[in-house]
Amino acid sequence: MPLIRKLAFLVGAVDMPRERHAHTKPTATLGGLAIFLSFTIMAFLAPIDRSNALPLFVGMLIIVGTGVIDDIKELSPKLKLAGQVLAALCVTIWGGIMVHHIYLPFLGRIEFGYFAIPISIFWILAIVNAINLIDGLDGLAGGVSTIALMTIGGMALLLGNMGSAFTAFLLVGALLAFLVFNFPPASVFMGDTGAMFIGFMIAILSLMEFKNVTLISLLIPIIILGVPFTDTFFAIIRRLKQKNIDFDGRSLAHSSSTFGIRIEQSANRIITLCDRGFILRN
């Protein structure tokens, strides 16, 4: 992580203190690159089947590349979304990772047919941007994502899907190492690189684990990520009303700190809410 911090300052991937930001000194924003590199190295060294991993790896490179460029040069929202869509297309169309049908109470099995790809892409974009939106307080996005990945990994173990479980727990390990440097006072942020990469992997793992889903299995990631999903939903509504797609500093995390709640208290309370979702699921 110290090497990534030096690299971030060298290339200009630094978040400067501003009115709506909680930190008070320049902070490196390439922590997500360290998460990606550590996960990728361990995944390639591990004795697991990688025969169908190329589409996922290319999708990861696209999402991480988009995040790195955004952390350095601050891409427009349209360009950032284009990168996310391209990564999602890569894993759905090329990799075949998508949800094909769902089982609903009283209605039985409902096939998505041609809508399988757009529904899966929407799911990926929703989770990527939900995690990205809450990456505003030290330790928050990392803590929430760790809970989500532990849940997905645990369910994968119960279902006998060792590949998904191993991937989820590798990501948990990478996140825990990152959180050492990210809890208040943070010396490095995961940045858009990390938030989008982790959101992307959570979305992909949930699709891989629940390809042929029931209503309950579909709701599990939503329950665990209830806070970021709710935050994202109201942020979209608010920005549509204002005809403004830029960040307005009014997410739940930033609003709570505005009302006098300390940064670590805000992050801990939101992580606790997500942890309640984990307990509820179990």
Residue positions forming the annotated binding site for Mg(2+): 132, 192
Residue ranges for the known binding site are: 132, 192
For residue 8, what are the contacts with CB-CB under 8 A and spacing of at least 6? Answer: 14, 28, 29, 30, 71, 188
Contact assessment for residue 99 and residue 207, using Cβ atoms and an 8 Å cutoff: yes
Q: What are phi and psi of 64, to 5 degrees?
A: -70, -40
Run of H or E including 14: strand 14-15
Instruction: Please choose, from the candidates 124, 141, 129, the residue with its C-alpha nearest in 3D space to the C-alpha of residue 253.
Output: 141
Angle, vertex CA 146, rays to CA 22 and CA 99, nearest 5: 115
Indicate the burial class of 75 (C-beta count within 10 angstroms; 0-12, 13-18, 19 or more): middle
Tell me the two tokens of residue 145. 């994502």
For residue 260, what are the contacts with CB-CB under 8 A and spacing of at least 6? Answer: none
Please name the residue ranges forming H helices in the chain: 2-11, 31-45, 54-73, 77-89, 116-134, 140-158, 162-182, 191-209, 215-224, 226-242, 252-258, 263-281
Indicate the burial class of 206 (C-beta count within 10 angstroms; 0-12, 13-18, 19 or more): buried
